[in-house]
A and B are shown apart, each in its own frame.
Chain A
Amino acid sequence: MLKVEAIDVHYGIIPAVRELSLSVEKGQISTLIGANGAGKTTTLKAIMGTLLPKKGRVWYKGEDVTTVPADRRVGMGFALVPEGRQIFSKLTVKENLGLGAYHRNDREGIRKDQEWIYGLFPVLQERESQLAGTLSGGEQQMLALGRGLMSHPEFLMLDEPSLGLAPIVVEDIYKVIQEINRSGITILLVEQNINMAMKISNYAYVMETGKIRAEGAADEVMKGENIMKAYLGE
């Protein structure tokens, strides 16, 4: 469904990602793992369209979307739940979720999705009118996830969803991620918390200093732990 072909992404003058290629099959969960600074977030941003690759292409459902601006990609079915949540803290929970559906016009579909998300995350409904900035870390992650889902994506990217969250909360989040995938949404996951990510993934890529060092079926990559340890320097 998504194919990234040898992209180079620069952050200012610094090359953050070099000759990176990956692909995600429809309906699957793929994970991108690597240490801090490996370039994972940059890669997601290039796929999302908030960064422009200097070289290479991004293909989505057979279409070249490399130069399509981010806001148009949302309409095509992309969604990114960014690192650090990046929710709109001065807006209410309801407004945040509403913005997720910004590009949509189908009232009925939006209402249904809203219900579904409240079903996944009841606490969001409780705190509907609260300012998003007053939520706890875990709740903000749920909000960010919910906002991403409100755009009714076909391809969802998650950047370190477990960052800064208590283990119990992480488990809940991952249960939800699996449920989202079961409902038909393709997922590309970026994580430092390898264990959880690998458990639910089909395919994995290992990144280091801007390049992909290893890839394969998730359980295979897990087994090649020595390789991973070497690359991730644990």
Chain B
Amino acid sequence: MISSEYLIQQIFNGIVFGAMYALLALGMTVIYGILRLIHFAHGALITVGAFSFYLFFMVLGLPFPAAIVLIIALGALMGLVLDVVAYKKAVGGPEVAMLITSLGFYIFIENLMKLIVSPQPYAFHAPEFLDRIYSMPVLTFRTIDIFIIATSVGIMVFFTLFVKRTKMGVAMRATAESGEAARMVGINISRVISISFIIASAIAAITGFMWGAKYGQISYNMGFMAGVKAFVAIVIGGVGSIPGAMLGGFMLGILEMFSVAFLPPGYAAYRDGIVFFILILILIVKPSGILGQKEVE
């Protein structure tokens, strides 16, 4: 018998995780839309974001807002570096080449982190004000949950306004549709790509912090699965659609929670496998996802 409290709690958890997936998916879909590239290295930024927060807040003792600003800046910078070093050369060449390079960079960063921080996970202590527990009759949650949901929604709203109202935002949407046509109207594609990387990476960095705070622990390989699942979220919601990516993220979070909750215990290790099972299912049934249009080859 499943109580309605359990259900609600699970849905809530799903929304919290979904919010984080949605943010990651958002960054990834922007890059995918413009470059047709699965930015594997995106996951690395989550790890870097989490560990830098650890460094700034827990080790160096900087105040919380300063730490947050620093990791966002660091993420943005890393994104720019990746753009310049990894992708600039590969644009215009075979797509597979970019995929491979992207993967190479992820592995490099992951192993570098492994070297620097250690193969063992670290305990991650969010600032105290985010750790308070609230027990309501129907729901138990911590302030970090509210923080995650609020920040995610905030970023998503801000981003949507950005792509709808600003010149650069419209340019990004145009470039995602057709790079060639965008150049013909005078848009500097290089700059659009760089800005996309900066925005996506900054978002990933702060998501890294939230991830660490929610799980209570961080490890050198935390970003990999998160990054790949972000792509699954994009597929669920519809490739090529920004609202689709966000929707897909939330759905993925809820689906994952549900499957973990309702599986017999001991099958929890199936969690990741189920996510990919869902992916394959969707690719069979409706590859364009919920909100997506048919992808032109």
CB neighbours (8 Å) of A69 from chain B are 183
Question: In the complex the two chains form, is B181's CB within 8 Å of A88's CB?
Answer: yes
With contact pairs A71-B189, A151-B185 given, residues A99 and B180 touching in the complex (Cβ less than 8 Å): no
Q: Flag B28-72 by CB within 8 Å of A: 1 or 0 each.
A: 000000000000000000000000000000000000000000000
Expressed in whole angstroms, the Cα–Cα distance for A195 and B187 within the complex equals 35
Expressed in whole angstroms, the Cα–Cα distance for A5 and B6 within the complex equals 75
User: CB of B167 within 8 A of chain A?
Assistant: yes
Interface stretch of the complex, out of B74-82, B102-110, B168-176: B168-176
Q: Flag A41-82 by CB within 8 Å of B: 1 or 0 each.
A: 000000011100000000000000000011100110001101
CB neighbours (8 Å) of B167 from chain A are 102
User: CB of B177 within 8 A of chain A?
Assistant: yes
Expressed in whole angstroms, the Cα–Cα distance for A212 and B69 within the complex equals 60
Closest chain-B Cβ to A193's Cβ sits at a distance in Å of 22
CB neighbours (8 Å) of A98 from chain B are 170
Expressed in whole angstroms, the Cα–Cα distance for A151 and B181 within the complex equals 13
CB neighbours (8 Å) of B171 from chain A are 99, 102
Question: In the complex the two chains form, is A88's CB within 8 Å of B184's CB?
Answer: no
CB neighbours (8 Å) of A88 from chain B are 173-174, 177-178, 181
CB neighbours (8 Å) of A100 from chain B are 185
CB neighbours (8 Å) of A95 from chain B are 170
CB neighbours (8 Å) of B174 from chain A are 88, 91, 99
Which residues of A, 74-120, contact B by the 8 Å Cβ criterion?
A: 74-75, 79-80, 82, 86-91, 95, 98-100, 102-103
Contact of B183 among A71, A87, A91, A147 (CB under 8 A): A71
Question: In the complex the two chains form, is B177's CB within 8 Å of A74's CB?
Answer: no
Question: In the complex the two chains form, is B170's CB within 8 Å of A103's CB?
Answer: no
CB neighbours (8 Å) of B180 from chain A are 50, 82, 86
Closest chain-B Cβ to A129's Cβ sits at a distance in Å of 12
Closest chain-B Cβ to A82's Cβ sits at a distance in Å of 6
Looking at A86, A147, A151, the one whose CB has the most chain B CB atoms below 10 A away is A86
Question: In the complex the two chains form, is A50's CB within 8 Å of B184's CB?
Answer: yes
Closest chain-A Cβ to B296's Cβ sits at a distance in Å of 11
Expressed in whole angstroms, the Cα–Cα distance for A149 and B249 within the complex equals 41
Q: Name B's interface SS.
A: helix
Closest chain-A Cβ to B83's Cβ sits at a distance in Å of 18
Please classify how large the interface on chain B is, using the bins under 10, 10 to 19, 20 to 34, 35 or more: 10 to 19
CB neighbours (8 Å) of A151 from chain B are 185-186
Please classify how large the interface on chain A is, using the bins under 10, 10 to 19, 20 to 34, 35 or more: 20 to 34
CB neighbours (8 Å) of B182 from chain A are 99
User: CB of B118 within 8 A of chain A?
Assistant: no
Looking at A80, A87, A89, A102, the one whose CB has the most chain B CB atoms below 10 A away is A102
Expressed in whole angstroms, the Cα–Cα distance for A174 and B181 within the complex equals 23
Looking at A49, A70, A91, A98, the one whose CB has the most chain B CB atoms below 10 A away is A70
User: CB of B188 within 8 A of chain A?
Assistant: yes
Contact of A91 among B170, B188, B189 (CB under 8 A): B170
Expressed in whole angstroms, the Cα–Cα distance for A74 and B181 within the complex equals 12
Closest chain-B Cβ to A229's Cβ sits at a distance in Å of 34
Nearest A residue (CB) for B191: A71
Contact of A90 among B173, B186, B189 (CB under 8 A): B173
Nearest B residue (CB) for A95: B170
Closest chain-B Cβ to A78's Cβ sits at a distance in Å of 9
Closest chain-A Cβ to B196's Cβ sits at a distance in Å of 16
Closest chain-A Cβ to B193's Cβ sits at a distance in Å of 13
Question: In the complex the two chains form, is B183's CB within 8 Å of A50's CB?
Answer: yes
CB neighbours (8 Å) of A86 from chain B are 178, 180-181, 184
Expressed in whole angstroms, the Cα–Cα distance for A91 and B178 within the complex equals 12
Q: Flag B135-178 by CB within 8 Å of A: 1 or 0 each.
A: 00000000000000000000000000000000100110110011
Question: In the complex the two chains form, is A102's CB within 8 Å of B186's CB?
Answer: yes
Question: In the complex the two chains form, is A82's CB within 8 Å of B184's CB?
Answer: yes
CB neighbours (8 Å) of B177 from chain A are 88-91
Seen from chain B, the residues whose Cβ lies within 8 Å of a Cβ on chain A are 167, 170-171, 173-174, 177-178, 180-189
Q: List 10 A-B contacts (CB under 8 A).
A: A70-B184, A71-B183, A71-B189, A82-B181, A86-B180, A87-B181, A95-B170, A98-B170, A99-B174, A99-B185
Give 10 new A-B contacts, CB below 8 A, not counting A90-B173, A91-B170, A91-B177: A70-B184, A74-B184, A74-B186, A80-B184, A86-B180, A88-B177, A99-B171, A99-B182, A102-B185, A102-B186
